[in-house]
Amino acid sequence: MERIPILKMGDYLLVTIQVDMHDRLATTLQEDLADRIVKARSRAVLIDISALEVVDSFIGRMLGSIAAIARVLDAETVVVGMRPAVAITLVELGLALPGVRTALNVEKGMDILRQSLSDTVNGHHSEPVAEPADADAQG
């Protein structure tokens, strides 16, 4: 069966979606990713959707639930490379993905993950989604 590869790089899991997503592929990815996060004890997941030209409400929700699942498993998720048209579609669908962190490209996404990993290594891993607030850094 067709699968989307999940690459492990150090502490990070990388998922690059290169094909058009259909619903079965999305649910498989969700299951695979949950397994890999636990097996590899990953703390950070980066999903690159720059090749996705069409995102429907199912895929949109799937991105949200992947982030939520990863968070439950104590991993940070960043979705990167969303196209403008896709972003507009998602907003029009009412799916602003509030729990998902986003970045413009892979590079910036890696920066965010690296930042949040180093924050948590310093022993401040308490807040799940919120921005690393200034107060937290000082404390």
Residue 40: CB minimum distance to other proteins, A:
25
* CB closer to other proteins, 36 vs 76: 76
Write down the least CB distance from residue 133 to other proteins, Å.
12
Q: Give the binding site for other proteins (CB under 8 A).
A: 79-80, 82-84, 86-88, 90-92, 96-97, 102-105, 108-109
* CA torsion, ordered 113, 107, 98, 26, to nearest 10 deg: -100
**Measured from the CB of residue 89, what is the shortest distance to other proteins in angstroms?**
9
Residues 6+ away with beta carbon under 8 Å from 136 = 119, 124, 127
Q: For other proteins, which is the closer residue by CB, 30 or 50?
A: 50
Give the chain's radius of gyration (CA, Å): 15
Q: How far is the CB of 135 from other proteins (least distance, A)?
A: 15
Cβ distance to other proteins smaller for residue 36 or 78 = 78
Between 38 and 51, name the residue whose CB sits nearer to other proteins. Answer: 51
